[in-house]
Amino acid sequence: MSTRDTKPITINDGPPARYQLQMKRVNLDKESDEESKLRKFTLGTRGPRYVNRTILLVGETGSGKSTLVNALVNFVMGVKFKDKVWFEVISDEKDRPQFESQTSAVSVYEIFGFEGKTVPYSLTIIDTPGYGDTEGLDKDEMIIQLLQSLFCIPQGVDTVSAVGLVMKASVNRLDDRVAYVFNSVTSLFGKDMKKNIVVMMTHSDGREPTNALKALEAADIKVAKNSKNEPVYFLFNNCQKEKIGNEKQAAKFAFDTSDDGMKKITDFLGKAKPQSLKTTMEVMKERIRLTACVQNLNERVTEVEMKQEVIRKNREELARCEEEMEKNKDFVINTEESYKEKEEIKAKWLGDKRAVTCNNCKENCHYPGCTWAWSPSWCYVMKDEKCTSCSGKCPVDAHVKENWIYVTKKKRVEKTIGEMEAKYKENKTKSEEKTSLLEDLEKELSDLEQYKKQCLDEAFIIIEELEKISLNVNSVSTFLHLEFLIEKMGTGDTEKIQKLEELRSRMNKANQAAASYIQKLEKSPVM
């Protein structure tokens, strides 16, 4: 059993003797080791005559994903039970420095130099932080952004042979958290990825996971299916690194269970057609635009509704003072006024706290912005040199990326009737010249309502586009967007509302529980 040119560090003498493999590290996000959220570890040197296979592992915290990564590495290296050794690329949390925490970074592990031991290819493993932690949505959004970054940077990943959804074999029902985890991942990819998404069941006793399979079916998770129309799954035990005492047979059975699972998943990797991430990137771009559009839309609609409320209150005040107004244009009334100002961004998890904002529209176009986009021109909300998010669809050069966002507020001010009327005089047509101030306010209310409808229509169009290309349009984020759109559309466009409600109905069956989980997190005090 050789580890080539590596110099493993002994963790303990076992048996099995545990060793920490030393690997070359590159921080793909160019941050320091303490700050990096996207890093690559390489063991050995890639041989040009060997193909490479890449597997992306995703699961909730505590699913056994880290042990699974180590098990894959040991299998590729050719470790057998009789060797009484165990190599690790991910050490126990308690054994590593605090800044090396595995739970908040996407890590890529490249394993070269062992081709032909058990598999004819080199292996790349992408390990993601645990989804669904109590830290909330900021961290989960960070994971999505890190994967997006990994798929688009030059030193990143451009094909994936398999996506492994990691879950415990003992699960008999996918709770809100697990449904959210798997939903988040499948919603990232295009329709061509479905045959490459498999289930990795950990903590297995070797028996068929009947209840877990039923749970997957009930949750309608999008995965590859076998000849029996069942999810393609592989079983693994998580005890390989545990000290072998008097229960040698039990230890060997645990090792053999995982070894069998490893043979099957690596065979699957060898036969599966690696999927280009080109379609995935298009899905990601559209989802980024959707999220940015709906977030921007939410702010715009909120601003509209705030303005409408201000107008209604001013209208009431004007009606109360109608007599005095007719006599005196210098009569002063106490009015409300909405305005915008910039505030510094404060985020808990996201590495890049900057937002892309529009100087023309005074709007937030993308927050948080694409982590890899050092300038607005690189941000995915930009298309054909224009912003897809802000209300003016302004050119790229009208935007900035900085640590500030626009916030709409309101204040009370004193104004004369003449000053209030002057606001509307500039934009009046000839036929409107004699309209009263109250009529001007009514028209502004109507114009704002029309603008609000236009905003909602924009988001509807993006959801339609996303549905055409996404493997899982029924994502949790889309569900929450739909809830917002349906609520704000009210009883307007019947045809559009019907389509949105049909989409929501499908989601109610597939992943409403996951959406409920997100809504709980949003209300949690830790957010």
Quickly list DSSP for 68-99.
HHHHHHHHHHT--GGG-EEEESS--GGGS-GG
Least confident of 30-39, 118-127, 504-513: 504-513
Give the pair of three-digit tokens for residue 492: 């307007």
What is the pLDDT, as a whole number, of residue 87?
Answer: 94
Give the mean model confidence (pLDDT) for residues 17-42.
Answer: 90
Could you give the C-alpha distances from 84 to 74, 249, 256, in angstroms and in order?
Answer: 12, 14, 13
Residue 443, pLDDT above cutoff 80: yes
Average pLDDT, the chain: 81
Nearest-5° angle of CA 434, CA 438, CA 442?
A: 100
What is the pLDDT, as a whole number, of residue 418?
Answer: 80
What is the pLDDT, as a whole number, of residue 47?
Answer: 84
Residue 12 has φ and ψ, to the nearest 5°, of: -160, 165
What is the pLDDT confidence band of residue 97, given thresholds at 50, 70 and 90? very low
What is the pLDDT, as a whole number, of residue 166?
Answer: 93
Contact 305, 295 (CB under 8 A): no
Contact 393, 358 (CB under 8 A): no
Contact 111, 124 (CB under 8 A): yes
Residue 338, pLDDT above cutoff 60: yes
C-alpha 178/C-alpha 175 separation (Å) is 6
- The top-scoring range by mean pLDDT among 31-40, 75-84, 302-311, 505-514 is 75-84
Give the mean model confidence (pLDDT) for residues 415-435.
Answer: 74
What is the pLDDT, as a whole number, of residue 397?
Answer: 96
* Residues 197-212 pLDDT 10s: 999 999 998 899 999 9
Q: Is 67 or 421 the better-scoring residue by pLDDT?
A: 67
Give the mean model confidence (pLDDT) for residues 168-192.
Answer: 76
What is the pLDDT confidence band of residue 512, given thresholds at 50, 70 and 90? low
Give the pair of three-digit tokens for residue 19: 């060793």
* Residues 76-95 pLDDT 10s: 999 999 999 999 998 764 44
Side-chain-side CA neighbours of residue 488 (13 Å)? 26
What is the pLDDT confidence band of residue 491, given thresholds at 50, 70 and 90? low
C-alpha 332/C-alpha 314 separation (Å) is 12
Q: Please give the single-letter amino acid code of residue 411.
A: K
Residue 39, pLDDT above cutoff 80: yes
What is the pLDDT, as a whole number, of residue 431?
Answer: 66
Domain spanning 9-276: CATH superfamily: P-loop containing nucleotide triphosphate hydrolases (3.40.50.300)
What is the pLDDT confidence band of residue 433, given thresholds at 50, 70 and 90? low
Contact 386, 395 (CB under 8 A): yes
The domain limits of the chain are 9-276, 282-457, 472-527
C-alpha 217/C-alpha 150 separation (Å) is 30
Residue 389 has φ and ψ, to the nearest 5°, of: -105, -50
What is the pLDDT, as a whole number, of residue 452?
Answer: 83
What is the pLDDT, as a whole number, of residue 520?
Answer: 59
The partner residues of 233 in beta bridges, in order of sequence, read 199
Percent of the chain with pLDDT over 70: 82
Of 475, 471, 513, give the one whose Cα is nearest residue 223. Answer: 471
What is the pLDDT, as a whole number, of residue 519?
Answer: 58
Q: Please enumerate in sequence order all residues whose Cβ is within 8 A of that of 2, keeping only pairs 6 or more positions apart, or say none.
A: none
Helix and strand element counts for the chain (H, E)? 11, 20
C-alpha 364/C-alpha 341 separation (Å) is 12
- Alpha carbon dihedral 167, 100, 155, 378, in 10-degree steps, equals 90
3-state helix vs strand vs coil in the chain, percent to 5: 45, 20, 35
Give the mean model confidence (pLDDT) for residues 133-157.
Answer: 72
Residue 352, pLDDT above cutoff 80: no
Contact 235, 199 (CB under 8 A): no
